[in-house]
Structure formats: structure tokens, C-alpha cells
Structure 1
């Protein structure tokens, strides 16, 4: 009886013992490998969920052993060689069975799974998860990526290469330290250029989405079209409602969703580039409310039976990227000088005016000034909100050129949203939540 009690007590100790970090890493590696193998399993490839999961798990085991002994390093290297050999065999087998030529996707995916397991086991969890997610997206979006590549002409391909060179070759050449202009310290030019490239990248991604799914519904037309170019959305909707006055509800909803896209983009810029400092959490409630309210308003306003294509100008253009960079630089200089000469009110005025041209540029300017310590979180938050509000108002002004019903609805919904967001923000400020 005493031996049985001892066994039960030992079992209790095992169950209550916390999982070690190594065990958690092994489990995570296997799960990420399984995640990578889902698409291959769905596509009925020879390597599926189990193969990918085991590949990541074996890599994690070898990597953990490698941290303790030289034998583990050898095992990790041998495992990598075996994965490469297995990938080659799978590629040749696929070519013989399908007769459609050499396909290396599954082979490269297995190598990615091995790399993910290694990264996770060595403690690079975020990097491993990032590789797994990006690799999975590349597998799932095969049709969309091939379709986009097929629609690009030679000029766009050349411009893409030029933009990539300018974006990623110029980045390390720019100074990383801050500098002072008119007595105001500006954050590093390298960070400023990264923000320009980020905004340009958002435009490219959303151009691809609209090209692939454009005309298939108001969500794509308004939201993703608005992320690529909100002015293009308004212009297209004006033309559409002039030709089809009865379809004005579709146009109103598209404009509202363009506002939602703009708010989400500005919120993302404000949070992402201040996460390492004290994040600008004050923008979350106002911009989040504008985004949610815009979606609700668009839902009620939309005519879901309408479908419209938006002719967007290709973002695969070095000229367009440099044009945005110039606008951003101009807004940055104006905002800096205004803040230096006129104080916080000067910054607010320049942000509001800049929002009529580019709320993204005004937002990045406020973020850079905040990062450098030139302005506080309150001033940066107000500047971003003013730029966002003026961007909403400029769509109202552009909408005045449309039919009466369209103009009236856009004005009412837009001003109503701004009023609700303003009241909510004011209430939360008073009670001390924001």
C-alpha cells in the first residue's frame, strides 16, 4: 500500500511540473511545421502535414542537441543535407508523375520547415513564426501571385527593380543618428526613409489586391482601393454616380470605406513606429472608432448589388515613390519649421493643412517628431487626429462635385462620424481613460 501511495505521489509531481522551455519549443516547432504542411496536404502533394511537422520537429531536436555538444552540430548539418536530398527526390518524382516540368515549391517548403524548427529551438521564436507565416502565405497565394506577375508589363517590372534598389540599397547608406533642423531634433533619416518605403509598400500590396479582386464588391473597391489611393476612389465614384445616379449608395459606402482604410493605415503607422518607445496609444480610440463607425455606416449605406472597377495608377513606378517621398519631405520640413517658430499650434495647423494632401505624410511627420523627443505624446496624437480629420473633410469637398443625393449622403455620414468620434474621445479624455 505504501509503494502504491509513493507511485501516486510521483505521478502528481510529474503532472504539476511546469513545462520546460525546450519542451515548449519542440511543440511549437511541430505545430509550425504542421501549419506549413496544410497547404501542401490540401494540394495533394507527396509531402503533407505529417512530413512537414516531423521535419520541423527533427530540426528542433537536432538544434537543441547542438547547443549542448558538437555531436548535435553534426546532426543538424546532416539533417539539412538529408532535407535537401529529400527535396530533390520529391521534385524529380513530381516531374515524372505529373509530367509538367520541374516543380521546386514542395522541396523549398521542406527546407523552410527545417529552418523554422531550427530557429524556434535556438530561441528565435518570432523569426521562426514569421518565416512560417510568410512561407504559408506564399503557398496559399499561388494563383494571386502568378496572376499579378502575368499582368505586369515590362515597364512596371523595370520600375519595380528600380524602386527596390532605391529602397533597400539607399536604406543602409542613410545616417542612423538624429539631426537638428531649425532647433528641432528630427529622428534618423534611415527611419524616415523606412516609413516612406512602408507607405509605398502598402500602396503596392493594395494595388495587387484591387487588380486581382477589383469589381467583386464594395469591400475591395472601397477599403483596398482606399489604401492604394483614396482620391482615386472618390474620383471613380463621382464618375460612376454621374452616369448612374441611382447607384449613389454604392459610391457613398465606397467613400466611407476609403476613410476606414485611411484611419487603419494611420493607426498602423502611429503604433508600429512607436512600439519601441512609449507607443502613441492615444490614437487608438479615435482612429479605431472612426474605422469601426465607418464600417457600420458603409454597411447601412451600401448597395451591395453594384460592382465598379477602379482604374488605379500603377504604384510600380519610381516616379510615384519619389513623388510621395518629396511630398513627405515637404510636409516634414513645413511641420518642423511650424513647430519651431509657432510652437504646438503651428504643428497643429500644418498637420491639418497637410492632411488635405497626404494624411500619411502628416502622420509620419508627427511620429518622427515624437520619436526624436521634439514633441510629446499629446501633441503627436492631436496632430495625427487633425490630419486624419482633414483627410475625411477633403473627400467631403470633392464629393460636392457629384449629384445632390451623393453629396448630401457623403457629407452627412462623414461629418456625423467625425462628430461621434470627437464626442467619444472627449468623454474618455474627461474621465481620464485616454
Structure 2
């Protein structure tokens, strides 16, 4: 008897667990409908998920389940249509009836997913669907509060991120002047998406917190992509020239965030790794961080915190132009890497800084931990990537038609570089 239990127990347990989970997720989906006192609630949703689970298991383990699975789906659809008709007849709000009908079909799909072994997928669908049901009021208020320009920007961003990006090839190697240049179109386009995404976040923060929110966007945007922050600030200065000081502060704080991120990588990944900590990078990068905060604090009028009206979350034309300039910089960086010969590693660090100084920093730290680079070489590569990131932001800001903005970015960027260099000299001496 014990042998029989051992032989059949595990598959039986696994099937039972999937059925129970399907029922529980259906119950979870129906909880909000029950709380809202709709025509279908906890019991109905749980039974629908259980029905889908049973039919799916029959499909997987016997030859009689396919027709039943389709029939079950049709029955759920018919029930949904009946609920919608009730809404049209005035017995219940039409929109609510449609939502309940679709939710029942989702519950059927969740039960089928879980029974088929797609546990994580089924749980994800159930949780996201429940959130959509619970956040009904907030979602409606958000949608109704959008202006036409905001709606247009949201649509454009969705096209950039979810339509164009997946269609681009991951790698492309054009030949220029007899030199093959490896490019990554998806990475380049990702920078355009980053500019647009940071612009949307900037729009939301500035709408809430006024001019100070611009600088906040710069710092937190710099943690993700400090170069992309420039694209957002170029668009901001175009819309609000009088608030250029905040945009300059945002770029400075983006530099501070970038340097802090590189410093965290250089120190954090060399602690306890069998190698000495890269303390050589602490002083120059620390100087850049401190100077960026000091200059940003002194140049922007932080007392001015009134509302700032922006025309739109981001400009598609500006984001595309930024991507084009970024592509040109990347090509010249790749050519420089080829021309520098024996200094190719340092040239690579400089070129990588155009895209992401964090990538160059991580590469240098990995090589240092593996013994391929000494502490001095790794530190130089990290500093070159950091300098490259600061310089490329100043170059991109130089494309602005606002003379004050571009001159201040250039001047303060030079101050950061000189400050970091001076700190390096002092510590060496």
C-alpha cells in the first residue's frame, strides 16, 4: 500500500495543488467584484477558474478535454454577453457589466494557465487584473485628467518603447572609411526611449513640485542614464527659457548621481574580493559629487518653487534629434578606439562613457578583480569613462539655442573636471 502511495502520490499532489491554486486565484479575482456587489462574485469566479483547470488537465492527460475546454470558454462568453445585456436593459451599469464579463473570461484564462503549469504567468495575470479592478477610481481620474497633448505624448512614448524598439536589430556593423564600426541600434534607440521616459517623469514631478522638481528629476534620472537627462533638459529649456538655472542644476546633479554610481561600483565590488579596494577612485569621484551639489545649490534659485507650466511631457522631435546626435558621438568614439591602437582599452573606456559610464566602470572592476588590470589602470579607465560622460553631456547641451544654458553647462562641467583633477593631484602629492 505504501509503495502505491509513493508511486502515484507526487503527480496526484501536483495536480491537486494546481487545481487548488486555480480556485484560490479565481476567488482572489472575484473578491473585488463581491465587495462591489456585482452580479458575479467570489463563488462564481472561483468556480470559473476551477472549471478551466479541470478541463485543461483533461486536455493534458486524456483525449476528451479539448472540446470541453472550448465549450467552457464559450459558456463563459455567453454568460458575459447576458450580463452585458442586463446592463443595456438598465438593470446594472453597462460599463460595470462589461468589466465583470471580461473579468470572468480572465478568471477562466487564469485557471487554464495554472493547470497547464504556467504558475507564475497565471498569478501575474490574476494580480494585475485585480489591481485594475481595485484602482478603478484612480485610473478613471488619471485618464479623464489627461489633456490632448498629454494623451498624444503617452501614445508616442508607447510607440517608441513597445513598437519600434523590438523591431530594431540588436547589432549592426556599417563600414566607414574602410573601418567596420559595431553599433547596437537597440541600445541607441533605448537612449531615445530613456529621454522620453525621463521627460514624462520630469513632467509629472514638475507639475507637482514646481521648478525644484526639475533638479530632482536630474539626480534620479542620472542614476539610470545621466546622458538621457540632457535630452529632457534641452526640451525643458526650449519650453521654459526662464527656468534654465534649474535645468543646469539638473545636469549637474545628474553628473553627481553618475559619479556616485561609479564610485559605488568601484568600491562596493572590490570590498572583500581578495583584492585591494580601489580607494584611488574615491577622491576624484568624491570631488565631482561634492562640487556638483555645491554648484547646483548656489546657481539655482531654490526659493522659487511655484508651478511651472510645461507644454507637453516630451517632444518627439527633440528626442529623435538627441538620438541622432548620440549616434554621431558613438560613431566617433568607435573610430577613436580603432585609431588609438595600444591605448585601445582607455579609448574603449572613453567610448563606453558616451553610452554608459557604469558599463565601463563595471568592466574595469571585473578586469581588476581578475588580475588583468592593476589598480592604477582600472582607476584611470573609471575616471576616463566618468570624464567622457561629463564631456558628452556638455557637448549635447551645446546644441541648445539658449546661450545662457549651454554656456553655464560648459563652464560648470569644466569646473567639475578641474576639481576632480585637482583632487587627484593633491592626493598623489
- Shorter-chain-normalised TM-score: which range? 0.5 to 0.7
Instruction: Give the 3 Å change call, closer, same or farther, for CA 384–34 of structure 1 in structure 2.
Output: farther
Select the residue among 194, 201, 204 that pairs with 1:199. 194
TM-score computed with the length of structure 1 as normaliser: 0.54
Q: Give me the whole-angstrom Cα distance separating, in 1, the residues matched to 2:172 and 2:52.
A: 42
- The size of the alignment, in residue pairs, is 341
Kept in 2, the 8 Å contact 1:63–1:122? The answer is: yes
Structure 1 residue 163, shift from structure 2 partner: 5.5
Q: CA deviation at 1:107?
A: 1.8
Q: Say whether 1:185 aligns with 2:182.
A: yes
Superposed displacement of residue 116, structure 1 = 2.3
1:347 Cα shift?
Answer: 3.1
Sort the Cα spacing of 1:193 and 1:88 in 2 relative to 1 into closer, same or farther, 3 A.
Answer: farther
Counterparts of 1:220 and 1:146, CA distance in 2: 27
Residue 197 to residue 233, structure 1, CA distance change in 2 (3 Å): closer
Structure 2 residue 40 is the aligned partner of structure 1 residue 47: yes
For 1:71, the equivalent position in structure 2 comes to 64
Deviation per residue, 1:310-368 (Å, 9 max, x gap): 5555346432442343244234324433333332212323454x4xxxxxx5369879x
Superposed CA offset, 1:374-427 (max 9, x none): xx9999x95997389849x989xx9x98xxxxx9xxx9xxx9xxx9xxxxxxxx
Q: Which residue in 2 is equivalent to 1:249? A: none
How far apart are residue 160 of structure 1 and its match?
5.0
How far did residue 151 of structure 1 move? 3.9
> 1:155 and 1:346, CA in 2 relative to 1: closer, same or farther beyond 3 A?
same
1:347, 1:383 within 8 Å by CA — same for their partners in 2? no
Asked whether the equivalents of residues 34 and 50 of structure 1 are also in contact (C-alpha less than 8 Å), the reply is yes
**Is the Cα contact below 8 Å between 2:196 and 2:319 reproduced in 1?**
no
- Residue-by-residue CA offset, 1:189-212 (whole Å, 9 max, x unaligned): 3x336634653564476368548x
8 Å CA contact retained: 1:56, 1:115 = yes
CA distance in 2, matches of 1:107, 1:320: 43
Q: 1:318 aligns with which of 316, 319, 324?
A: 316
Q: Partners in 2 of 1:219 and 1:44 — Cα distance?
A: 42
Distance 2:159 2:345 in 1: 38
Shift in alpha-carbon separation, 1:199–1:39, aligned structure 2, 3 A: farther
Q: Under a length normalisation based on structure 2, what TM-score does the superposition of the two structures give?
A: 0.55
- Mind listing any 5+ residue stretches in structure 1 that lack a counterpart? 1-5, 244-251, 268-285, 355-360, 371-375, 402-406, 420-434
Matches within 5 A, 1:76-91: 76-91=69-84
Contact 1:184 1:336 (8 Å CA) reproduced: yes
Secondary structure of residue in 1 paired with 2:182:
strand
Partner of residue 122 from structure 2, selected from 124, 128, 143: 128
Question: What are the Cα deviations for residues 214-258 of structure 1, in whole angstroms up to 9, with x where unaligned?
Answer: 249x9999369954985679989x989x99xxxxxxxx99x9799
Deviations 1:246-300 (A, max 9, x none): xxxxxx99x9799779989xx9xxxxxxxxxxxxxxxxxx9xxx9xx99xx9xxx
Paired with 1:117 and 1:262, the residues of 2 have a C-alpha distance of: 49
**Superposed displacement of residue 111, structure 1:** 1.6
Match of 1:61 in 2: 54
- Describe the shift of the 1:390–1:42 C-alpha distance in structure 2 as closer, same or farther (beyond 3 A): farther
Off by >6 Å, runs of 4+ in structure 1: 9-16, 218-221, 231-236, 255-264, 363-367, 376-379
Paired residue for 2:26, among 28, 33, 39? 33
Q: Which residue of 2 aligns with 1:422?
A: none
- In structure 2, the gaps of 5 or more residues are 223-227, 265-281, 298-303, 365-369, 398-404, 425-429
1:233, 1:258 within 8 Å by CA — same for their partners in 2?
no
TM alignment of 1:338-357, pairs within 5 A: 338-342=336-340, 343-352=344-353, 354=354
Deviations 1:152-187 (A, max 9, x none): 444554555556556655456544555365445334
Which range moves more in the overlay, 61-70 or 308-317?
308-317
- Cα RMSD after superposing both structures: 6.0
